A and B are shown apart, each in its own frame.
Chain A
Amino acid sequence: MKKMFLIFLLTSLSFVSNANDSTKVNITNQAVADADNAGLTLPSGFGALIAADNLGRARHIVATKQGGIYVKLERLVGGKGIVYLTDANKDGKMEIETSFGNYIGTGIAIKDNYLYASSNEDVFRYQLDENGKVTNPNNPQRIVKGLWDKRQHASKSIALDNAGNIYVNIGAPSNSCQEVDRTKGSKGMYPCPILDSAGGIWQFKIDQTDQGYHNGVRYATGLRNVVGLDWNQQQNKLYVTMHGRDMLYTLYPDMFDTTVSAELPSETMYAINKGDDAGWPYVYYDHFQKKKVLSPEYGGDGKKAGGEKAIDPIVAFPAHMAPNALLFYTGNQFPAKYKNGAFVAFHGSWNRSPLPQEGYYVVFIPFENGKPSGQWEVFANGFSGTEMVKNPRDAKHRPCGLTEGPDGSLYISDDVKGTIYRIVYNAK
């Protein structure tokens, strides 16, 4: 009896405290933010809930027009690599409706009535029905095959334009194109032979079977490893986020110390035009000097400029934070400032030891006319579950994928535990 009373007291207390809590969000479609905002810190007026959990290594995600979500897994769960989530009772908590696809991977995207998903060497296309459900889970059309999968930077992120093309990142299986990868004293190869088959974005047709290097177009090059890419509908242009090189100190201890090595080079965002070259491996970007600097493998000393023909980034972030997803926000749920701006999900660094690691959050960059109109700011933080991430292994969650729901909610995936977060806004 005493216990019952206590429970009653506690529930009424929490009810009262919730009612007074201005950050508590309750939007019309009944998706209610979790009491603790799913452990995240957000700008005021925003709330977060866990839409799904324990899915496995959830990489990129994509929402359907009808509000379902497809999740690409990096490791098979029950033999399947794609999970389809739906929310039948519209309470914000999603359930697994089906799983399919016997391959691991990162890339997943929707254009018109097709779902596209990538393994680390192929791209597949599935037909969607009027509910947004895949009709041919066991026999997709393989539209691209045989891309390089050499373990390092093997994930194939994808994006689609409005003219029947798909863009596929092929990451360079290398840090800086040395003869022996990541090895002190090993020279940079010139010209870098990797660029013929990787270190860039390739363009393919959406509807042809088994395309490959022979009929794909190298759309942009000199991009070490792009994991985030999105087609900006306003500009009708491809935008990408690139992971910059590692190990300046380990490879060149006479030139760089551990602090400089932790803070350089920049992680970069580029607006891409056909034929662009971003300069990897010959240069890297330095956001302190605000210029492209010649790589030490190619005669650089940390100061000499290089890459006269290479494009400049439109945003330079601190080093090593690993921008794993890029999303231009087109919804109406969030305040006007967010419209057409970019969200970037940072997986979090490892190449800053012995300094604390950085990243492990989602940032926002306001945009106007396809260009940043202000500084980037941390939008959602707290995924790691610790104040400071000393080692990547300490992080409980790591942001990896982004998608926008039909109601303008922002979804964020985590590839440690497979949590799908939903961010909602309702301050009036």
Chain B
Amino acid sequence: MKYVYCLSLILVLSSALVSRSATNTVQPAIKASMDRGKIIYLQRCMACHQADGSGVPRLNPPLDGASTVKGNDKLKLVRIIIKGMTDRVEIDGEYYDNNMSANPDLTDTQIADVLNYIRNSWGNKASLVTAVEVKAARTKIK
């Protein structure tokens, strides 16, 4: 618990750093989180979204270039990871037929890590997601 708290603190601090220094290089904290996130991605997500985030036409949406993935609605992203996704919704102009797995067992840090990985890989670029944000989001998800 202490560990998680400590880590979130680091992540919060680093996120402040990232937003202030708007450079193109990946910040060390985000890099560390992405590295951990990649491992989770390969285990939990790759089968469907593919190793390079390109997805499967009409079955599993691409994550590279996806507006939701790169967007600011972090609550929505956390909900998708925890709950999975089984609705018939339009994603960037296309529909997808598969069901996405739920991941209720991932910790706040693991969810932040995997989100940082998909939000900053394959040409995507987006702000850091912190474990604190995930924790706050989780309380709003039924």
Choose among A180, A247, A261, A394 the residue that contacts B84 (Cβ–Cβ < 8 A).
Answer: A180
Interface residues on B, range: 20 to 34
Contact with A along B69-107 (1 / 0, CB 8 A): 000000000000000101010000000011111110100
Please tell me if the beta carbons of B56 and A152 are within 8 angstroms of each other in the complex.
Answer: no
A416 and B57 within 8 A (CB) = yes
Q: Assess whether A183 is interfacial by the CB under 8 Å rule.
A: yes
**A152, A175, A391: most-surrounded residue (chain B CB, <10 A):** A391
* Residues on A with beta carbons closer than 8 Å to the beta carbon of B88: 151
> Shortest CB–CB separation between residue B117 and chain A, in angstroms?
15
B60 close to A350 (CB less than 8 A): yes
**Contacting residues, chain B, for A142 (C-beta < 8 A):** none
B110: shortest Cβ distance to chain A, in Å?
Answer: 13
| A186 nearest in chain B by CB position | B102
Q: Are A181 and B57 in contact (CB under 8 A)?
A: no
Cα distance A246–B101 in the bound complex, in angstroms: 12
Min distance, Cβ A240 to any Cβ of chain B, angstroms: 20
Contact between B44 and A392 (Cβ–Cβ < 8 Å)? no
Chain B residues contacting A351 (CB-CB under 8 Å) are 47
Given A180-B84, A183-B84, A393-B54, A353 and B99 contact (CB-CB distance below 8 Å): no
Quick one: which of A261, A390, A392 has the most chain B CB within 10 A? A392
The reply on B13 being an interface residue by CB < 8 A is: no
**A residues less than 8 Å from B52 (CB atoms):** 390-391
Q: Does A154 interact with chain B (Cβ within 8 Å)?
A: yes
Tell me if A253 and B84 are in contact (CB < 8 A): no
* In the complex, chain A residues 173-215 whose Cβ is within 8 Å of any chain B Cβ: 173-175, 180-186
Taking CB atoms and an 8 Å cut-off, the chain A residues in 381-396 that contact chain B are: 390-394
| Residues of B with C-beta under 8 A to A66 | none
Beta-carbon contact of B62 and A393 below 8 Å: yes
> Are B98 and A152 within 8 A (Cβ)?
yes
Check if A180 sits within 8 Å of B102, measured CB to CB.
yes
B46 within 8 A of A: yes
Residues of A within 8 A of B12 (CB): none
Assess the A353–B51 pair: CB atoms within 8 A.
yes
CB-based nearest B residue for A174 = B99
Q: Does A233 interact with chain B (Cβ within 8 Å)?
A: no
Cα-based distance from A183 to B86 in the complex (angstroms): 12
Q: Is A146 an interface residue (CB 8 A)?
A: no
Instruction: Give the chain B neighbours of A154 by CB distance below 8 A.
Output: 97
Contact yes or no, B99 A350, CB < 8 A:
no
The distance in angstroms between the C-alpha atoms of A173 and B98, with both chains bound, is 9
A391 to B99, Cβ gap below 8 A?
Answer: no
Flag if B97 contacts A350 (CB, 8 Å).
no
Query: What's the nearest-Cβ distance from chain A to residue B88, in Å?
Result: 6
Partner among A152, A185, A247, A393 whose Cβ is within 8 Å of the Cβ of B57: A393
A residues less than 8 Å from B103 (CB atoms): 183-184
Chain A residues within 8 Å of B51, by CB: 353-354, 390-391
Residue B59 interfacial (CB < 8 Å): yes
**Are B55 and A151 touching (Cβ within 8 A)?**
no
Contact code string A224-260 (vs B, CB < 8 Å = 1, else 0): 0000000000000000000000110110010000000
Hey, what's the 0/1 contact readout for A111-146 against B, CB within 8 Å counting as 1? 000000000000000000000000000000000000
Chain A residues, Cβ within 8 Å of B54:
391-394
Complex Cα distance, B51 from A394, in Å, reads 13
Q: Does B43 contact A (CB under 8 A)?
A: yes
Question: Are A249 and B97 within 8 A (Cβ)?
Answer: no
| B101, A183: Cβ atoms closer than 8 Å | yes
Contact indicator A152/B101 (Cβ below 8 Å): no
Q: Given A183-B84, A184-B44, does the pair A151, B57 have CB atoms closer than 8 Å?
A: no
Q: Is the CB of A181 within 8 A of B56?
A: no
**Inter-chain contact A354/B46, CB cutoff 8 Å:** yes
Question: B50 at the A/B interface (Cβ < 8 Å)?
Answer: yes
Known: A181-B86, A391-B50. A253 touches B43 (CB 8 A): yes
Closest to B49 in A: A353
Closest to B94 in A: A75
Q: Are A393 and B56 in contact (CB under 8 A)?
A: yes
State A353–B49 Cα separation when bound (angstroms).
Answer: 9
**How distant is the Cα of A85 from the Cα of B100 in the complex, in angstroms?**
38
B105 touches A249 (CB 8 A): no
Q: Cβ of A151 and Cβ of B97 under 8 Å apart?
A: yes
> In the complex, what distance in Å separates the CA atom of A53 from the CA atom of B130?
49
10 additional A-B residue pairs with CB within 8 Å, beyond A151-B86, A182-B99? A153-B97, A173-B99, A181-B86, A182-B101, A186-B102, A250-B47, A250-B101, A253-B43, A391-B52, A393-B55
6 closest A-B pairs (Cβ-Cβ)?
A350-B56, A182-B101, A391-B54, A181-B99, A393-B54, A392-B56
A residues near B (Cβ < 8 Å) are 74, 151-154, 173-175, 180-186, 246-247, 249-250, 253, 261, 350-351, 353-354, 390-394, 416
Give me 16 A-to-B residue pairs in the complex whose CB atoms sit less than 8 angstroms apart, sorted by A's number.
Answer: A74-B58, A151-B88, A154-B97, A173-B99, A181-B84, A182-B98, A182-B99, A182-B101, A183-B84, A184-B101, A249-B47, A250-B46, A253-B43, A353-B47, A391-B56, A393-B54
